[in-house]
């Protein structure tokens, strides 16, 4: 799994570096730089071809659209991961609280009903079995 990303990352880094060098050549262009510029332009195309090849390996990877929004706003996309994890944990705790409360309520209700309607509750327990202690 990680190799696929490493491969793409490597190609992207090379591509970015090539673009940076291209920018330097263009920023103060000299006639002698034309050969280098042509070479860099063709490197750029080779780089795009390499990145295109990586697409086949990563067709099963889904990126949430929200991540792009973070990037577009100039924010660290790791913040998205962080917020996702925090939200997941908060929801997890919330659901756990609900389950625990309902389990307690159920056992309390059964015990109270057992006091008032012992016969019916004995039949009920015969059908459903005793609840595990909460």
Partner 1 sequence: MTEIFSSLYGQPDSQGPAGPSALGFGSGKPQVPQNMGPMCFPHQMMEEGAPVRKPAAMNEPFYLLRELPMENELTGHTNLITHYNLEHAYNKFCGKKVKEKLSNFLPELPGMIDSPGIQDNSSLRSLIEKPPVCNNSFSPLTGAMLTGFRLHTGPLPEQYRLMHIQPPKKKNKHKHKHHRPQDPLPPETPSDSDHKKKKKKKDDDPDRKKKKKDKKKKKNRHSPDHPGMTGAQPSTSSLR
Residues near partner 1, by CB under 8 A? 9, 12-13, 16, 19-20, 23-24, 26-31, 34, 37-38, 41-42, 45-46, 48-49, 52, 65, 68-79, 81-82, 85-86, 88-89, 91-92, 94-96, 98-100, 116-117, 120, 123-124, 127-128
Q: Give the number of other Cβ atoms within 10 Å of residue 27's Cβ.
A: 7
Any idea of the CA torsion for 92, 93, 95, 100, to the nearest 10 degrees?
A: 140
C-beta separation of 25 from 37 below 8 A: yes
Q: Provide the b/e sequence for 64-75 (b: ≥16 CB within 10 Å).
A: eeebeebeeeee
**Shortest Å, Cβ 25 to partner 1:** 9
* 74 DSSP 8-state letter: T
CB of 45 or CB of 60, closer to partner 1: 45
**Shortest Å, Cβ 2 to partner 1:** 11
**Shortest Å, Cβ 38 to partner 1:** 5
CB of 16 or CB of 108, closer to partner 1: 16
Rounded Cα gap, residues 106 and 114, in angstroms: 12
**Shortest Å, Cβ 60 to partner 1:** 18
CB of 96 or CB of 105, closer to partner 1: 96
């Amino acid at each position: 799994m990680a190799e696929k990303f490493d491969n793409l990352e490597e190609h992207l880094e090379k591509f970015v570096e090539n673009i940076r060098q291209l920018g330097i050549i263009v920023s103060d262009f000299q006639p002698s730089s034309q050969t280098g510029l042509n070479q860099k332009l063709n490197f750029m195309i080779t780089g795009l071809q390499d990145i295109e090849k990586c697409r086949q390996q990563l067709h099963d990877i889904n990126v949430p659209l929200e991540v792009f929004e973070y990037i577009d706003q100039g924010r660290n996309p790791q913040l998205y991961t962080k917020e996702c994890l925090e939200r997941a944990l908060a929801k997890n705790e919330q659901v756990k609280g609900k389950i625990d409360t309902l389990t307690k309520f159920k056992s309390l209700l059964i015990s109270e009903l057992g006091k008032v309607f012992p016969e019916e509750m004995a039949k009920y327990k015969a059908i459903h079995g005793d609840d595990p202690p909460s």
